[in-house]
Chain A
């Protein structure tokens, strides 16, 4: 069953397929920050015992969060998942806050109450997800519902992986958003593995996007390692939602270039897959394209990397010295406290 294409969609399709150079450089910058930031977290700080608990990075998937969030308005809302570090940075969370969060310091995003990227900030319109992945989907529907109720043209971008789409909440939330026509853009980061479970053991359909018609919304599949393609599809879906047409589902095909977490060596993944997807690295692809189009040079790249490393070094140096929370802080903020 095909949905009649809204004239708005046709108009959107006539948008330029490429963002302006400014935006492309910004996109590259953010992807590179995410890559280096996550390297430091997983390959250095964690192995030095400076980060405790679980660490989950989105190596190789940087294009998805960055491409989908780069052109949102400040009053739009993002509901990220655990491999969307780019979303946090684009929305304005500082490197220092992120490192402090991972190291359990008082200055971290949750003041030590929660770990790794369980971060949120109402001020930045960033919703903290919980470990029950997929729970953010109905919440995103509710956020979109509030925009509708108030007659606001804000949208909410809600991200999740392939595994989360097996959860009941995912299905309930998509259905609810569709029935109530909430302005949500659902982004699936299909990196083809949920821990050790490959896609074919996760679902009986070939594509996550195949489910979109079941919930009465447009679905689209994009190359998740082509950040421009992600940007393009996201922009159209964002405009679609903003214009009052309701939710849509974008499935970004990508690959998880790490284990599920820092302590998983992903030995269950065939080595050929790593090799194949390594050649499709989203950051190098964009660099190549930009250099080919004379929008970038190796010198500028080197300069960018130098700057990124300096930023990150500084953030780590400060965060490392930040204090831990007081033990009794455990008792605070369970309920509303008069200030």
Chain B
């Protein structure tokens, strides 16, 4: 015969514990089935408890006077082969009864018509409905680009908007969507060849026009003496090479821009409707020329990188841009862009702002020039930097102060 566990029974639905008041048998005693074995006391009743099995009372686990929870094993009945022992049961903690719930005060009858919900624009973003998100996901559409430009309330992108966007084959760079009728083809004289625009070209075209329509473009120009940074480059080139980083002159400009943006945070901001959005992170986009177009990979958190870190990031992004290995998040979230009109020899340029940023800096070619220093003529490598800025938010004075800071950083570079 196997061992039988004797338990504290539940004498009533709301009873959760019982006190064992008296053992009527001791370990080693023979017990008949249904013979009275012990006595208990509960909130409702005192009772004699019969043995559930016949055998020898092998082990008593709960002492007289002890209160335990229902279903606790109080004793073991065996067939006499095992040694008898008496072990005190571990202290049973009883659970506190849940306190009665406080009745809630009843509000007055709710009118049937509640205020109609409108899509809330928090921090400049109208949330996208589940349907729109799903359709966007299915088609790989970046909803950020369409944000606020839908035909729903507060510019919400509606089902109709997203479906129309899908239809038009759009990728990045959303536009205010209404199906405009295609303009009548222009009649050119002479032999012409008509070639359709590639999607990237179309996207760039739309983005450029949109930017022009959005920002109040003004450009300011600064001449900067690059001798210090070029000397610095010479000094560090070998050391960086040993670390596997090819050092060009670009990181020096990025570093100077980052320091200036720290001093003039509005240049790092955006304008959303009537709200100025200051961004904590400084993410510098570096425009890379590609076959038939351009792409702007972004050095994220540029302020946290030292010169070597910047150089490494710029090289890596540039390389992968040219080999088309950039990830989608690497061309997003830029706060300021640097472009290089001087790469093919231009003196300077008047770049178009990369929306939704507020400014873009163009780097002309570095040329040795005769300049006047302390009333003497010297030969210095000079670059013309251009800053196109959005005059809606940035006035000329501030733009010039910003550029003066960039110039200062570059011309007094020490590390």
Contact = CB atoms under 8 A, between A and B. Distances in A.
Interface stretch (B46-54, B218-226, B386-394): B46-54
Given A52-B10, A54-B13, A262-B11, A47 B45 contact: no
Interface in A282-320: none
Contacts of A333: none
B56 to A, nearest CB: 18
Contacts of B11: 46-47, 262-263
A263 B13 CA distance: 8
Interface in B1-32: 7-13, 15
A216 B34 CA distance: 51
Most chain A CB within a 10 A radius of its CB, from B8, B11, B15: B11
A48 B46 CA distance: 14
A49 B12 contact: no
Interface of B: 7-13, 15, 34, 42, 44-50, 52, 70-71
A290 B116 CA distance: 85
B17 to A, nearest CB: 13
A47 B46 contact: no
Interface string A26-53: 0000000000000000011011111011
Contacts of B48: 47
Contact of A259 (B34, B45, B50): B45
A263 B41 CA distance: 11
B393 to A, nearest CB: 64
Contacts of A49: 7-10, 52, 70-71
A264 interface: yes
B9 A46 contact: yes
Contacts of B49: 47-48
A298 B203 CA distance: 109
A265 interface: yes
A263 B10 CA distance: 9
Contact of B47 (A47, A50, A53): A47
Contacts of B9: 46-49
A210 to B, nearest CB: 34
B44 A265 contact: yes
B52 A263 contact: no
B265 to A, nearest CB: 62
Interface string A256-280: 0001011111000000000000000
Given A47-B50, A48-B49, A261-B12, 7 more contacts: A47-B11, A48-B50, A52-B10, A54-B12, A259-B45, A263-B45, A265-B45
A262 B52 CA distance: 18
B50 A263 contact: no
Shortest 6 CB-CB contacts between residues of A and residues of B: A263-B12, A49-B9, A265-B45, A48-B52, A263-B44, A263-B11
B12 A44 contact: no
Nearest to A43: B50
B37 to A, nearest CB: 10
A49 B9 CA distance: 5
Given A44-B50, A48-B49, A262 B12 contact: yes
Contacts of A50: 52
Which of A49, A53, A262, A265 has the most chain B CB atoms inside 10 A of its CB? A49
A265 B48 CA distance: 12
A318 B167 CA distance: 73
A116 to B, nearest CB: 11
Contacts of B34: 44
Interface size class of A (residues with CB under 8 A): 10 to 19
B46 A265 contact: yes
A32 to B, nearest CB: 18
Interface string A47-70: 111101110000000000000000
B30 to A, nearest CB: 18
A263 B11 CA distance: 5
Contacts of B42: 263
A319 to B, nearest CB: 14
Contacts of A47: 9, 11, 47-50
Contacts of A265: 44-46
Contacts of B47: 47
A53 B50 contact: no
Contact of B45 (A52, A53, A264): A264
29 contacts: A43-B50, A44-B34, A44-B50, A46-B11, A47-B9, A47-B47, A47-B48, A47-B49, A47-B50, A48-B7, A48-B9, A48-B49, A48-B50, A49-B7, A49-B8, A49-B9, A49-B71, A50-B52, A53-B13, A54-B13, A261-B12, A262-B11, A263-B11, A263-B44, A263-B45, A264-B12, A265-B44, A265-B45, A265-B46
Nearest to A262: B11
Contacts of A262: 11-12
A54 B7 CA distance: 18
A184 to B, nearest CB: 33
A46 B34 CA distance: 12
A197 to B, nearest CB: 17
Contacts of A44: 34, 50
A52 B7 CA distance: 13
A259 B11 CA distance: 12
Interface in A169-189: none
B318 to A, nearest CB: 62
Contacts of A259: 45
A259 B42 CA distance: 15
Nearest to B12: A263
B51 to A, nearest CB: 8
B143 to A, nearest CB: 42
Contacts of A53: 13
A48 B15 CA distance: 15
A263 to B, nearest CB: 3
A259 B45 CA distance: 10
A48 B48 CA distance: 10
A316 to B, nearest CB: 10
Contacts of A263: 11-13, 15, 42, 44-45
Contacts of B70: 49
Contacts of B50: 43-44, 47-48
Contacts of B7: 48-49
B219 to A, nearest CB: 74
Contacts of B12: 54, 261-264
A48 B54 CA distance: 13
Nearest to B15: A263
A87 B2 CA distance: 39
Contacts of B15: 263
Interface in A218-268: 259, 261-265
Contacts of B52: 48-50
